[in-house]
Amino acid sequence: MSPTPIWSLALDFTYKVLEARSGPEVQDLLLAFARSWGFEYLVVCDLPTPGQSFKVDVCNWPEDFLEECARDLFRYDPLLRHAAQTTEPFSWSEVEWDRSRGSPEQRVMDLAASYGLKDGFVVPVVGLDGEQSLIGLAGDRAKLLDQERRALHLVCLYAHHAIKAVRKPSKHRIQKGALQDCLAYAFVGLDTDAITERTSLSAGEVRAAWKRAQDDLGVRDPMGAAVKAAVLGAINP
């Protein structure tokens, strides 16, 4: 495999994260990677269910902004609402909300913008038992090409699982052989067809391998399984 420059940067990031020993270390590495696209702020948190408070793993968002939102605005945050309804990564500009002047949702976004949080990228993460969390990047202005978006998605997933692993080591394990090969190829962005071209596996066998990996690792998508396998050291991308 010959990764494109952006994928080479993403792979370099994963190797550096393997040496990290704390959530803040992973945060610094991710922000160093993401600043190329205008991101300066990061949050990794669980999505609260009604009546629950936020459980934040790492966050460098402006404290005054968080304090103002905590009073009564978090419940109107359109980004959190959207993150709870999807498993796909999204840019802030893709989210629909009531943009009329004075609406609670627009107040949240106007407040964020006043603190330099004008644009961002969010990666929702959903476990097999339904727990929801996210990793969010924000800055003054962000522009992502398709390949850059896919690479940033991978990097965010990797950082998310690494931060969680630092806090609570995983007991999940992955089987060797064809399953590892599928995950390693998925890690560098190859789809089912591309993997079948590089292995002796059929498309059905690749999909079955991914499903088994998702079940074994407690995640809901192939990329998440590949990232978690790499964090655990089960594959060497």
Q: Per-residue pLDDT for the chain (237 aa), expressed as one digit of tens each?
A: 445 688 788 888 888 887 887 888 888 999 999 998 999 999 998 887 666 666 788 899 998 988 888 777 778 999 999 999 998 999 999 999 999 988 999 999 999 999 999 999 999 998 766 778 999 999 988 778 888 998 899 899 888 888 877 655 444 445 567 778 888 888 777 888 888 888 878 888 888 887 887 777 777 677 777 777 776 667 766
This prediction has a pTM of 0.72
**Of the residues 121, 139, 167, which one is the last residue of a structural domain?**
167
Are 83 and 108 contained in the same domain?
yes
Are 137 and 24 contained in the same domain?
yes
Domain that holds residue 129: 5-167
Residue 30 carries which side chain, given as an amino acid letter?
L
CA dihedral 222, 223, 224, 225 (to 10 degrees): 50
CA dihedral 150, 154, 156, 157 (to 10 degrees): 130
Nearest to 47 by CA among 137, 125, 164, 120: 125
Q: What is the residue whose two structure tokens read 């669980």?
A: 46
Alpha helices by DSSP H, listed for the chain, are: 5-18, 23-34, 63-72, 78-83, 104-114, 146-167, 178-187, 192-198, 203-217, 222-231
Are 161 and 192 contained in the same domain?
no
Are 104 and 221 contained in the same domain?
no
